[in-house]
Amino acid sequence: MDTENRPKVLVSRRLPKEGMNLLYRYCDVQLAVEDRVITRTELLEGVRGKQGLLSMITDRVDAEVMDANPQLKVISNYAVGYDNIDVEEASRRGIAVTNTPGVLTDATADMTWALLMDIARRVTEGDRVNRSGGWREWAPMFMLGKEVTGSTLGIIGLGRIGKAVAKRARGFNMQILYHSRTRLSREEEKQWGVEYRELHELLREADFVSLHAPSTPETRGMIGRKELSAMKSSAYLINTARGDLVDEKALVKALSQEEIAGAGLDVYEKEPRLAEGLKESDRVVLAPHLGSATRETRGRMAEMAAQNLIDELRGGPSDYRINDPDRD
């Protein structure tokens, strides 16, 4: 791009160098002053006069933000999910929206298994006991957990990440059940080693229930009081998808009343706040949204988000545009 006429872009939070270097090469970059979630005022002021916005999943990009800058051409989201963006409104205004799919599949699937193994074998709980001096001797009945190998795994949402979790489960000789908006063909079910179940059947049968659905009006709160009551008292819930899939108050109650054995969470309804009673429970492992948090994955995400923005500013479409902007 012409160095004298580089497009102006706002980056709402510092990215790994793979993305920042690319942006500095081709764009006139305004970076948020502090490395924290940008405030609403800062976002509204910062987006003015910019052709591009590189947003985080923590940024609410709605009509108000778009009103602040009628010249905005592209919103590049540094995430796979984009429920933080009013995509329909962006499309009406001719603004392209992009995301970063695929790149974090393996990292998030690995995180799912980290939580599953942790809560099943009581690793974090045991760490707390050990550090506090609570472990004095080996004993046959001390801190017994759940055996993972040979158990039944229920996957809700069999997209890229759900399939990657299923692939890992085969190494543990697990029976793998799934529920998804679109059922796979018989050939695909055989290929992935999975069996379809209606949601209530999956919840009743699974030893581990792992959530991998997107956040939509239909899926928000999909695991509530009724669904938790349907699970085995010996079962565990794992969520590395979106926090609002789970009614956290209902989960706290299910844990306190021992209706389920435990939970492993990486995402929350109102991040970073936790529902009252959640952090006090010894039956839950609480990770601070680490699903994609490897150096390799976050670097690739940054490079992809930057390239999406640059491609769209050059006329597009980028490889990962998620809408059909009504451009003149």
Which residues are identified as catalytic? 242, 271, 289
CA pair distance 36, 66, nearest whole angstrom: 22
List Cβ neighbours of 16 (8 Å cut-off, separation of 6 or more).
Answer: 295, 298, 299, 301, 302
Q: Which residue has the tokens 């102006």?
A: 8
CA dist 171 → 119, 168, 174 (Å) = 19, 6, 8
DSSP 27: S
CA pair distance 254, 248, nearest whole angstrom: 10
On the CB side of 232, CA atoms within 13 Å amount to: 16
CA pair distance 250, 96, nearest whole angstrom: 38
Helix (H, G, I), strand (E, B) or coil at 154: strand
CA dist 141 → 138, 146, 166, 241, 284 (Å) = 9, 13, 31, 34, 21
Amino acid identity, residue 236? Y
Q: How many C-beta atoms lie closer than 10 Å to residue 247's C-beta?
A: 21
List Cβ neighbours of 111 (8 Å cut-off, separation of 6 or more).
Answer: 240, 266, 287, 290, 291, 293
Q: How many C-beta atoms lie closer than 10 Å to residue 190's C-beta?
A: 11
Residue 251's nearest CA partner among 239, 240, 242, 263 is: 263
Q: Which residue has the tokens 């992009």?
A: 98
Strand 96-98 relative to strand 52-55: parallel, antiparallel, unpaired?
unpaired
